[in-house]
Structure 1
Amino acid sequence: MSYAGGNEGVTEANSPRLLDQVRSRLRLRHYSLRTEQAYIGWIRRFILANGKRHPRDMGVMEVEAFLSRLATDGKVAAGTQNQALSSLLFLYREVLGVELPWMETVVRAKRPRRVPVVLSRDEVGRLLARLDGQYALMASLLYGAGMRLMECIRLRVKDVDFGRNEICVRDGKGGKDRRVPLPKKLHESLRLQMERVAVIHGEDLAAGFGAVWLPHALARKYPSAQRELGWQYVFPAAQRSRDPRDGTERRHHVGETQLQRAVRSARIRAGIVKPATCHTLRHSFATHLLEAGQDIRTIQELLGHKDVATTQIYTHVLNRGGMGVVSPLDR
């Protein structure tokens, strides 16, 4: 069962094999499940848009036309189009072994330069005050440590160091590790959360479960590690579920949509009109450090930015008006 070659086209009955090859290659390269799902979706959409022809029978012209339609007809964001492009390049280069020349004629969606939404310290306080329990702790970590949403949700017990007042963020954006500050105000809440994790883990072990997903074949290298408390998620899901990759029943981390909904509801109840999200707390972390006189290179390291130019966007949102300039009216 595979996408047929030649001129026979692609049928639903024989479609899984090519996509299975893509999945296998993605997992071999240690891509995340979210990226895998996105790439598979774009590749399937590309094939259907071209009459179910096999991708090997198509090339640069079809890829360019597909991406151009996304920008011109679909009005997609630049990031969405770039994700589709990355998906197709992965298909041709990594799965089909075809090197596509640089596609100069692709109509690319323009990426607008946006100034990030930033909350004031008062607004952050009002927002956090309207969150309870686990969600209050998670949102406090986003602001207090500058973590990304998924970095917080995927946090493991072993990576929280109370003695050094730091958190080790593993496999962040770009596959990089980094260390971020652990606010002392969160010590007690985090310890209580970890006690809760220990209880849940003990119940899972007693029920014959307790193994957690480990990255990069660590489960084979260290067979007992997946049942150790240190590898468990700090914010576990309420129920066990089956891993879509291998069907194993495990307790995964909490879903990101739950925290996103809680933050949105808290923002509305706090009377904050800015379109603040979970990521806004990370933006606020960086901006408030800059306002306090922290060195921009240090903030770059804390945020995990590859280029300091990415971090410099926060210099435009300091609490001194547009471009950091004091209005002459105030003088």
Structure 2
Amino acid sequence: METAASPAITLKCVEHRGSQRLAVSFAYDQAYIDRIKQVPGRRWSETMRCWHIPVEEQALQVFRAAFPFVALPPIGEFRTGFTPDQPDKADVQITPAAAGSEQAHKAGISSQKGIESIELIGGRFAIRMRYTKEGVAFMKSLVRSFWQEEDKVWVCQFSEANLKDLQAYCSYWSEEEYAKLAELLEVRNAKESQKTMAVWPLKGNQEWLRVWIPNHTSEAIARIKRVSGRRYSRANGCWLIPNNQQLLEGLSEEMRAIGVEVEVRGKVLNVPLKRKSWPERQSHLLDKLDGPMAALVKEYTDFLIGMRYSWQTVKTYTSFFRRFAEVFGVAELPNLEYASIQGYFNELAKEDISLSTLNQYINAVKFYYERVLNRPRKVYAVNRPRKQDRLPKVLSKGEVKRIFKQLHNLKHRLMVYFAYSSGLRLSEVCYLKPEDVDLDRLQVFINNSKGGKDRVVHLGEEMICLFAEYIQKYKPKEWLFEGQQGGEPYSPRSLQAVFRRAKEKAGIDKQATFHTLRHSYATHLLETGTDVRLIQELLGHSDIKTTLLYTHVSKRSLMSVRSPLDSLFDGDEEVEKSNKSSQ
């Protein structure tokens, strides 16, 4: 029953994407919307802001039942599309002309082939055709073609091959129309060939940046995965990275290495990645924990932090200890027998983990009993796996020189020089301060390094001019090598990327990382006759056994050995020479 307040309904016969439709327009009314949703095949058009239904007997019967007070128009009155200048969801819509002998001839060819219409929608051809075996076989031969049941059309990729094949098959377009499509395809291909990665803030959450990767190349995706905090959003259909200038600069460097430029659209938050305090870091470890487990982990981490373990060790130990506590239960831990603990480690040893990881599991559990509970060490001694003796990877002097030649940025060159000149670790290079370098004495002071130790290392004379040039150009204040954000040290991840790119450009296939420069420094010192005890002091090794590993890869030690194969035939050569002389 309609009232005077009910909105008026306007009907219009249209042809949409090759099919006959009935456009239904009315002012917003929820009751009308509920009714029209009962009609099979109904759709909403954003272009015309109206509903439209198929001109089919079943749909029209449901519509008449839902709107008995509306008179249907003569179904023969149709027009093409919703508006001539706004095709619904179509980029380009070209239909064959109906006048002229040439156009009529081509229309006849298309008709003979069963082609009724071809539209370009969203970078794809939508082809409506009558069923013929020949036509179906042809459609299947097109690049990336498939049948879309909902619209009753064949869909294929808008490509040069498909455009040529379609025109050769049915001569659907005039020369002018074909040229227009070819030009459009050329422009589109040119845009796709431009290696530009677009980045812009995520709508509704400015803390994230959306990343559009050109052609979704595996190289680009691999570099996205190196960004700290990145994740793939299925809802948005793209990768997301934290909205931070420092991370974005690091990603830009990674992409430039493969010839991709980063285009930033919109405002990027200029917020530095501040290093968190110990309470903030600890709260991160306690996140999502409650009850006895939260209290246990807090007590455990309090001891680790109080004893000044590194943050990496705190995270690793806490993760391994939590797993141990979850297996046995918090209440049972203080009363566990030796056999239970040993059995736990025996089961871990059966898993696919390295020996060093297994040792960390053991240390994490022992820390709880021996430090937190202050139990005697001997009670909880466990059988440890035998550690594998792996030799360090070393670069030759020639390879080091080739890497240096690929470093054209002054800051990057000086950072890599520091690692090789003084045998510094990655973190030691990044966290150097201007006052740590003493040019007069050619010394570098390493403060609070691995194991909380300080040491003094030698600075090569070749560094003096380069260092002076760097100081004059960059004028560092708090950190010798500042990152993109003022007041923050250079990112270790970015420095690793710098070295990796230089190694690749130098054509070195050997498996080597930034730390390999430190191994090379020690090995080359040993080869030039430097005492191994002095090398131990320069590297900051607590145990001489660690330093002695370099004697196994030293060229000097190996060259002093003569293979028994070389001397095996020495006697035969002398006999042969004497025989020749006697002749």
Find out whether 1:286 has 2:522 as its counterpart: yes
Partner residue, 2:344: 66
For residue 414 of structure 2, the aligned residue among 123, 137, 140 is 137
Work out the CA distance in 1 between the residues paired with 2:328 and 2:559: 48
Select which of 521, 535, 544 maps to 1:308: 544
Alignment RMSD: 2.8
1:270 to 506, 518, 527: 506
Trace 1:3-152 onto structure 2 (pairs within 5 A). 12-14=289-291, 15-51=293-329, 55-74=333-352, 76-101=353-378, 103=380, 106=383, 108-133=384-409, 134-152=411-429
The secondary structure found in structure 1 opposite 2:555 is: coil
Comparing 14-23 with 163-172, greater Cα deviation is found at 14-23
Name the SS of the counterpart of 1:262 in structure 2.
helix
Give 1:73's aligned amino acid: E
1:282 to partner: Cα distance: 0.9
* Contact 2:526/2:532 (<8 A) preserved: yes
1:65-90 Cα deviation digits (max 9, x unpaired): 3333332223x223222222222222
> How many angstroms does 1:321 deviate by?
7.5
Does the CA contact (< 8 Å) of 1:142 and 1:152 recur in 2?
Answer: yes
Shift of 1:148: 1.8
Distance 1:125 1:154 in 2: 25
Cα distance in 1, alignment partners of residues 548 and 526 from structure 2:
10
State the 1:99 CA deviation.
Answer: 3.1
Give distance in 2, aligned partners of 1:158 and 1:73. 48
The answer to whether structure 1 residue 190 and structure 2 residue 436 are counterparts is no
Amino acid at match of 2:308: H
Deviation at 1:194, TM superposition (A): 4.8
Q: Which amino acid aligns with 2:299?
A: Q
Distance 2:305 2:385 in 1: 29
Query: 2: distance between equivalents of 1:310 and 1:51?
Result: 39
- 2:85 maps to which residue? none
Q: Which position in structure 1 is the counterpart of 2:434? A: 157
Distance 1:105 1:291, change over 3 A: closer
Partners of 1:142 and 1:149 within 8 A in 2: yes
Identify the structure with bigger relative contact order (alpha carbons < 8 Å, sequence gap 6+).
Answer: 1
CA distance in 1, matches of 2:321, 2:470: 41
Cα distance change on mapping 1:45 and 1:179 into 2, 3 Å: same
Greater displacement, 162-171 / 308-317: 308-317
Offset of residue 119 of structure 1: 0.8
| 2:481 corresponding residue in structure 1 | 235
Kept in 2, the 8 Å contact 1:165–1:184? The answer is: yes
Name the amino acid aligned to 1:64. Q
One-letter amino acid matched to 2:427: M
Cα distance in 2 between the residues matched to 1:79 and 1:43: 16
Contact 2:551 2:557 in 1 (8 A): no
TM-score, structure 2 as length reference: 0.44
Amino acid at match of 1:129: K
Q: Which segment is superposed worse, 297-306 or 308-317?
A: 308-317
Q: Secondary structure at the match of 2:456?
A: strand
Cα separation, 2, equivalents of 1:191 and 1:59: 62
Secondary structure of the 2:368 match is helix
CA displacement, residues 73-116 of structure 1 (integer Å, 9 cap, x when unaligned): 23x2232222222222222222233335355653x333222221
| More displaced stretch, 37-46 vs 65-74 | 65-74
Amino acid at match of 1:306: S
Q: Which residue of 2 aligns with 1:167?
A: 444
Indicate the residue corresponding to 1:246 in structure 2: none
Distance (Å, rounded) in 2 between the aligned partners of 1:38 and 1:80: 10
2: CA distance, partners of 1:309 / 1:290: 15
Distance in 1 (CA, whole Å) between partners of 2:344 and 2:471 is 48
In structure 1, distance between residues paired with 2:373 and 2:505: 52
C-alpha deviation, 1:312, in angstroms:
2.0
Whole-angstrom distance in 1 between the partners of 2:538 and 2:317: 29
Corresponding residue SS for 1:179: strand
Taking the aligned partners of 1:119 and 1:322, their CA distance within structure 2 comes to 16
Shift in Å at residue 43 of structure 1? 1.3
Residue aligned with 2:515, SS? helix
Deviation at 1:40, TM superposition (A): 1.3
| Structure 2 gap ranges (5+) | 1-287, 568-583
Give 2:83's aligned residue: none
| Equivalent pairs, count | 278
| Structure with bigger gyration radius | 2
Q: Is the 8 A contact 1:166 1:179 kept in 2?
A: yes
Equivalent pair of 2:436/2:444 in contact (CA under 8 Å): yes
Question: 1:44 is matched by which residue type in structure 2?
Answer: R
Task: Pick closer, same or farther for the CA change 1:38–1:190 going to 2, 3 Å.
Answer: farther
Distance in 2 (CA, whole Å) between partners of 1:276 and 1:145 is 18
Percent sequence identity over aligned pairs: 35
